[in-house]
Amino acid sequence: MVLLASLILGMGLPVTASYIVLIVLVGPALTQEFGIPLLIAHLVVFWYSQDSNVTPPVALAGFAGAAIAGSKPMETSFQAWKFAKGLYLIPLFMVFNPEIIMGGPVAVVIWTGFIALLALGAFAAALEGYLFTHMGLLSRLAIGGRLWRFSTLIS
pLDDT at 69: 92
Cα 51 to Cα 76, 82, 105, 147: the distances in Å are 15, 11, 31, 22
d(CA 139, CA 66): 32
pLDDT at 148: 62
CB of 77 closer than 8 Å to CB of 56: yes
Q: What is the mean pLDDT of residues 11-39?
A: 87
52 pLDDT exceeds 70? Answer: yes
pLDDT at 62: 85
147 pLDDT exceeds 70? Answer: no
Closest CA to 155 of 90, 68, 97: 97
Q: Among 26-30, 96-100, 148-152, name the most confident range.
A: 26-30
CB of 147 closer than 8 Å to CB of 122: yes
